C-alpha cells in the first residue's frame, strides 16, 4: 500500500479526466473532468487540484495501440506530462500503459447502471480512476512505482 497520495490523468484532445487516491490507502476517487481550452486556462484547475491533493506521484495514461505501437495520442499524453513536469517540478511524473482503460471504464459505468448520456460526462474521470487502480495494483504487487519515470 502506498504511503502517500497519488493522482492520475487520462488525457484526451477535448477533455482530461482526473483521479486521486486517498493517502495511505489503495482507495481511488475521481476528481473532475477538465475541459481542454485553447488558451490553456484549464491548467489553473489542474495545478490547483494537484496542490490540494499533494500527490507524491502523478500517473499519466500512455494510450498505446493494442499492438504496443505509439500514435498521436501518445504524443499528446507526453506533451501533457512535460507540462506537468514544468508546472509541478516537485512531483514525480510517471507514464503508465493505459490500453483498454476507456473500455473498462465504460463497462464499469454500464454495470453500475449509468446511462449513455451520463456515462459520456463521467468517462474521462472513470478512465483516470482505472489508470490509477492499475498503477496502485502494480505498486502493491511489486513494491515499487508503476510505469516509466517521465523526465
**Number of helical H runs and strand E runs in the chain:** 4, 6
Weakest-pLDDT range from 30-44, 49-63, 125-139 = 125-139
Contact residues for 25 (Cβ-Cβ < 8 A; gap 6+): 1
The candidate with the shortest Cα–Cα distance to 42, out of 75, 6, 16, is 16
Residues 45-64 have a mean pLDDT of 94
Q: Give per-residue pLDDT as tens, 69-78.
A: 667 888 999 9
Phi first, then psi, for residue 20 (nearest 5°) are -145, 160
pLDDT at 125: 87
Domains and their CATH numbers in the chain: 6-143 (3.30.420.140)
When pLDDT is cut at 50, 70 and 90, the band that residue 39 belongs to is: very high
* Better-scored residue on pLDDT, 68 or 39: 39
Amino acid at each position: 500500500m502506498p504511503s502517500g497520495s497519488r493522482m492520475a490523468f487520462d488525457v484526451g484532445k477535448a477533455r482530461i479526466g482526473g483521479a486521486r487516491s486517498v493517502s495511505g490507502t489503495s482507495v481511488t476517487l475521481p476528481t473532475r473532468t477538465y475541459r481542454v481550452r485553447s488558451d490553456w486556462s484549464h491548467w489553473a484547475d489542474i495545478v490547483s487540484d494537484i496542490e490540494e491533493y499533494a500527490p507524491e506521484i502523478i500517473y499519466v495514461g500512455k494510450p498505446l495501440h493494442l499492438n504496443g505501437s505509439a500514435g498521436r495520442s501518445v504524443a499528446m499524453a507526453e506533451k501533457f506530462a512535460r507540462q506537468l513536469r514544468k508546472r509541478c517540478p516537485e512531483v514525480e511524473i510517471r507514464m503508465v500503459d493505459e490500453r483498454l482503460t476507456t473500455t473498462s471504464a465504460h463497462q464499469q459505468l454500464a454495470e453500475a447502471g449509468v446511462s449513455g448520456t451520463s456515462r459520456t460526462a463521467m468517462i474521462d474521470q472513470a478512465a483516470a480512476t482505472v489508470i490509477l487502480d492499475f498503477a496502485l495494483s502494480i505498486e502493491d504487487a511489486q513494491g515499487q512505482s508503476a510505469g516509466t519515470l517521465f523526465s
